[in-house]
Amino acid sequence: MTSVATGYLLVFAAGVFQGSFMLPMKFTRRWAWENTWLVFSISAYLLWPWLIVLLELPHFHTVLARTSSHSLLLLGLFGLAWGVGALTFGLGVDRLGLGLGFTVIIGLTVSAGSLIPMVVLSPDELGRPKGLLTILALVLVVIGIAVCAWAGKLRGTQRDLRGALSPSSYAVGLAFCVISGLLSSSANLGFTFGGEVIEKAIDLGAREAMAGNSVWALMTIPLFMCNATYCVWLLKRRATARLYFLPEARPYWGWGVLMGFSWIAGFVCYAPGVRRLGTLGPSVGWAIMMATMIITANLWGVIFREWKEASRSALALLFGGVGVLIVAIWVVGHAGGP
């Protein structure tokens, strides 16, 4: 198998992991949103990233010492923006459901996260076939998102991720998703413009497949602080910390850790995959991962009957939007080809 083909497989795997990471939240019904999200935040943003660093990057302190303060500052700022995006991600998906929430958020994320690296790093490609195909794919992604979002509007009564009637309106949930989509692109921007850390890690003997975790470990620190602060505030305000001690909620800790594992597994696959896709890797890879996430999340949404009360027209729009996204993946695959 060629290096490029391996890159595509890794990016697809990243999308499947990322599109599935919130699925365990369906099984923590006795916990409030903040209970599950705090356990997930500890697992995804601290436990797994730094465990990987300790195991795979033994000279990480030297990597930090040799990295410019400018790169570290960029990673911190992108991580903070990503933190707000992740927080509103959880709130938005909890209100709109896995399928629709993912679709709106990821569509906006893919647009910003793909276009900015291409404009900054490969502006000469914009007028060439690869660049034009990438732009076409992004247009298709936006169209697919708009169709799926309209399907969600037609779905009728909104239910949260656990299946209960949501007290929040469709508009509030949609607003959370829009904010999240715009800010969550900071993940790819940090990876793209913080590449100095990865290069230093490789120079010090890190495996290329694992070197990208140096970026995720640094960016997830402000990510954790942002999410944990809000969750702790909610735990105090709603007096929901007691829910951690419910006897029937003991398995929920495992579900939260599993959420974190699935989340970080996506980025562990993404980093080496993108590096195999050539000059447009950050743009092409990000678009493929995001579209795969949307398709995966919508499949889970259908399997778990999030759309059981939807009309036939709403379902037709949903599947039509997903079909457009599949076409977008095919187009962006050609954009990254030789």
Q: How many domains does the chain have?
A: 1
Dihedral sign (CA 75, 273, 182, 137): positive
Q: 36-58: per-residue pLDDT in tens?
A: 999 999 999 999 999 988 888 87
Q: Is the pLDDT of residue 163 over 60?
A: no
Q: Is the pLDDT of residue 133 over 50?
A: yes
pTM as predicted = 0.74
Average model confidence (pLDDT) across the chain: 80
The tokens of 85 are what? 């995006």
CB neighbour class for 76 (10 Å; exposed up to 12, middle 13-18, buried from 19):
middle
Residue 310 sits in which domain range? 3-335
pLDDT value at residue 167: 46
pLDDT value at residue 165: 40
Residue 171 pLDDT class (50, 70, 90 cuts): confident
Residue 172 pLDDT class (50, 70, 90 cuts): confident
Residue 70 pLDDT class (50, 70, 90 cuts): confident
Average pLDDT for residues 20-45, to the nearest whole number? Answer: 92
CA nearest 79: which of 227, 222, 191? 222
- Asked if 85 contacts 182 with a C-beta cutoff of 8 angstroms, the reply is yes
User: What is the rounded CA–CA span in Å between residue 83 and residue 220?
Assistant: 8
What dihedral do alpha carbons 201, 203, 206, 209 form, nearest 10°?
Answer: 90
CA nearest 267: which of 13, 4, 8? 13
CA nearest 266: which of 241, 243, 304, 297? 297
The tokens of 170 are what? 């469709």
Average pLDDT for residues 127-145, to the nearest whole number? Answer: 76
Q: 59-68: per-residue pLDDT in tens?
A: 888 988 898 8
Q: Is the pLDDT of residue 295 over 70?
A: yes
Question: Which residues are registered as beta bridge partners of 165?
Answer: 159
Residue 158 pLDDT class (50, 70, 90 cuts): very low
